[in-house]
């Protein structure tokens, strides 16, 4: 085997090697293709299931440092084996199914929550030629498969035969379904800029990262994705102080562990999707010549996004459900629509302003001018948004400050018992004129 070819294209070279070995055994080509697909699925699934062992330890250590605590530090070096010990404990714990629960739905729910996250990774490109499968509707696939996690939470809360779990499932409808709207709208921005829904093409079009050309869409996508995970400050799906443990209160052992794995893997997936859609994915110096270096860039960007998720969890308080829904429907959704309009408008105005052909405008010749013009449009949208928010805040403040005086005058100067200023038996103070 040529080592240089293996380093440049490891997936295809290994596939060719396995194909030659299986063909030498006399297996038909259809069976060989199926075996290779199964190996690919097992490889991605193993990565997704083993990575949370590190993510859980990493997050616990980081949050402990932020909160001036030690964190896990006994089992293994710096507590690195603590997660494995916890996993072994969950494996040997008793598996309990509540009386009156819908057994089939109850048991399928944790499996579906993990499957929803693993299948999202099928279209995420690790490098220029390292990707599970190439779909021309990859962005739409991400949204569709991700909604299975929402369905899993609803199934678990409804099938547990527990009022607290059912309340957590109701909050799922209020939160996750609502936040899918601005998330999908913000996802359209990189699709518009790349002229494709294929994930690897979206990365390939980011000679200049889309976060520069569309910072507002980046922030909206990241915030709404965190809400989809149910992480702080959007953790109303669990809200231990209010509804015990949320939708998974009745789950024990490995069923609870599967929800746990899905949450941490989904949090890392948020960082990965943000990296692919807005931060250039695997792109970086010499990433196209050395694909393995592209994997390093992709993982660094993904961990940077995941670190921001951890930072939000460690520093932000939980918000009320009415505030959370107001944020979604009254702020993020209109802002996401505005970001789409600005992107379309300024991207179409560019060729007319510079008097160039549209094919050259979207190519490498004018990539800096295009990104700068789109950034200018986002800054304009941001200033308009800040002006509207400040005007509304001033209006509400004036209304709150003027309300007591207006109410007092409307009642003719009477207090709540119907007495006027003289009702307390005291004369109004008078001031003699100064001599």
Cα–Cα distance for residue pair 337/280, rounded to 1 Å: 23
Q: Specify the pLDDT at position 15.
A: 81
Query: Is 411 within a domain?
Result: no
Contact 209, 279 (CB under 8 A): yes
Say yes or no: 123 and 242 in one domain. Answer: yes
> How far is residue 215 from each of residues 209, 212, 244, 371, 378, measured CA to CA in Å?
10, 6, 38, 11, 7
Cα–Cα distance for residue pair 49/262, rounded to 1 Å: 9
Peptide bond into 194 cis (omega under 30): no
Say yes or no: 158 and 76 in one domain. Answer: no
Contact 245, 328 (CB under 8 A): no
Peptide bond into 233 cis (omega under 30): yes
**Tens digit of pLDDT for each residue in 285-337?**
988 888 888 899 999 999 999 999 999 988 888 888 888 889 999 999 999 99
280 sits in which H/E element: none
Instruction: Report the C-alpha dihedral over residues 53, 120, 44, 149, rounded to 10 degrees.
Output: 50
The alpha carbon of residue 274 and the mean position of all alpha carbons in its chain are separated, in whole angstroms, by 8
Say yes or no: 199 and 77 in one domain. Answer: no
CB-based burial label for 147 (10 Å; 0-12, 13-18, 19+): middle
pLDDT at 428 > cutoff 50: no
Say yes or no: 204 and 321 in one domain. Answer: yes
Domain end marker among 29, 56, 88: 88
Query: Is 124 within a domain?
Result: yes
Q: Which of the pair, 166 or 434, is modelled with greater confidence? A: 166
Say yes or no: 148 and 192 in one domain. Answer: yes
pTM of the model: 0.85
Radius of gyration of the chain (CA): 28
Query: Is 425 within a domain?
Result: no
Contact 187, 221 (CB under 8 A): yes
Say yes or no: 20 and 66 in one domain. Answer: yes
Query: Is 360 within a domain?
Result: no
Say yes or no: 168 and 22 in one domain. Answer: no
How many domains does the chain fold into? 2
Contact 73, 56 (CB under 8 A): no
**Tens digit of pLDDT for each residue in 243-291?**
677 788 888 888 888 988 898 999 999 999 999 999 999 998 988 888 8
Q: Is 422 left (phi over 0), alpha (psi -120 to 50) or beta?
A: alpha
Q: Specify the pLDDT at position 321.
A: 82
pLDDT at 410 > cutoff 90: no
Query: Is 365 within a domain?
Result: no
Say yes or no: 52 and 105 in one domain. Answer: no
Helices and strands counted in the chain (H then E): 17, 2
**Tens digit of pLDDT for each residue in 43-80?**
888 988 899 999 999 999 999 988 888 888 888 888 88
pLDDT at 152 > cutoff 80: yes
Domain end marker among 64, 88, 112: 88
Q: Specify the pLDDT at position 31.
A: 87
Query: Is 378 within a domain?
Result: no
Query: Is 307 within a domain?
Result: yes
Q: Which domain holds residue 185?
A: 93-326
Say yes or no: 151 and 31 in one domain. Answer: no
* Secondary-structure percent of the chain, ordered helix, strand, coil, rounded to 5: 70, 0, 25
Cα–Cα distance for residue pair 182/221, rounded to 1 Å: 8
Cα–Cα distance for residue pair 314/86, rounded to 1 Å: 22
Query: Is 350 within a domain?
Result: no
Length of the chain: 435
Domain end marker among 278, 301, 326: 326
Instruction: Grade residue 418 by pLDDT with cuts at 50, 70 and 90.
Output: very low
**Nearest residue to 281 via CA among 296, 269, 303, 298:** 298
Say yes or no: 211 and 70 in one domain. Answer: no
Residues forming a β-bridge with 131: 125
**Tens digit of pLDDT for each residue in 197-226?**
999 999 999 989 999 999 999 999 999 999
130 — phi, psi (to 5°)? -125, 95
Say yes or no: 101 and 207 in one domain. Answer: yes
Contact 221, 186 (CB under 8 A): yes
Which residue has 């509804």 as its token pair?
243
Q: Helices 253-278 and 138-159 sit at what angle, rounded to 10 degrees?
A: 160
Say yes or no: 208 and 154 in one domain. Answer: yes
């Amino acid at each position: 085997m040529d080592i240089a070819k293996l380093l440049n294209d490891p997936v295809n070279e290994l596939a060719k090697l396995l194909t030659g070995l299986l063909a030498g055994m006399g297996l038909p080509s259809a069976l060989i293709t199926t075996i290779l697909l199964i190996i690919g699925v097992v490889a991605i699934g193993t990565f997704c299931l083993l990575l949370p062992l590190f993510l859980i330890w990493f997050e616990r250590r980081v949050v402990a440092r932020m909160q001036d605590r030690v964190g896990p530090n006994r089992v293994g070096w710096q507590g690195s084996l603590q997660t494995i010990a916890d996993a072994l404990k969950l494996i040997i714990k008793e598996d309990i199914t509540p009386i009156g629960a819908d057994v089939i739905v109850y048991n399928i729910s944790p499996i579906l929550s993990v499957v929803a996250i693993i299948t999202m990774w099928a279209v995420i490109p690790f490098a220029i030629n390292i990707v599970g499968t190439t779909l021309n509707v990859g962005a739409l696939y991400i949204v569709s498969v991700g909604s299975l996690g929402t369905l899993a939470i609803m199934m678990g809360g409804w099938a547990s035969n527990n009022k607290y779990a059912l309340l957590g499932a109701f909050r799922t409808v209020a939160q996750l379904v609502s936040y899918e709207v601005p998330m999908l709208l913000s996802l359209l921005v990189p699709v518009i800029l790349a002229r494709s829904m294929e994930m690897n093409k979206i990365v390939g079009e980011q000679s200049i990262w889309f976060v520069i050309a569309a910072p507002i869409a980046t922030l909206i996508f990241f915030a709404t994705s965190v809400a989809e995970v149910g992480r702080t400050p959007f953790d109303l799906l669990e809200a231990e102080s209010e509804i015990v443990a949320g939708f998974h209160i009745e789950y024990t052992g490995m069923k609870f562990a599967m929800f746990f794995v899905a949450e941490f893997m989904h949090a890392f997936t948020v960082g990965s999707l943000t990296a692919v859609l807005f931060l250039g994915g695997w792109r970086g110096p010499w990433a196209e010549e050395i694909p393995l270096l592209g994997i390093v860039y992709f993982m660094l960007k993904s961990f940077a996004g995941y670190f921001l998720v951890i930072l939000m969890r460690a520093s932000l308080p939980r918000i009320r459900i009415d505030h959370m829904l107001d944020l979604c429907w009254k702020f993020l959704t209109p802002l996401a629509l505005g970001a789409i309009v600005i992107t379309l408008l300024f991207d179409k105005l560019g060729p007319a302003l510079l008097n160039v052909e549209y094919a050259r405008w979207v190519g490498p010749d004018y990539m800096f001018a295009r990104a700068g013009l789109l950034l200018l449009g986002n800054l304009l949208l941001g200033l308009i948004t800040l002006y509207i928010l400040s005007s509304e805040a001033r209006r509400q403040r004036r209304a709150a400050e003027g309300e007591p005086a207006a109410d007092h005058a409307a009642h003719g100067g009477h207090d709540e018992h119907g007495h006027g200023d003289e009702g307390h038996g005291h004369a109004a103070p008078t001031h003699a004129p100064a001599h």
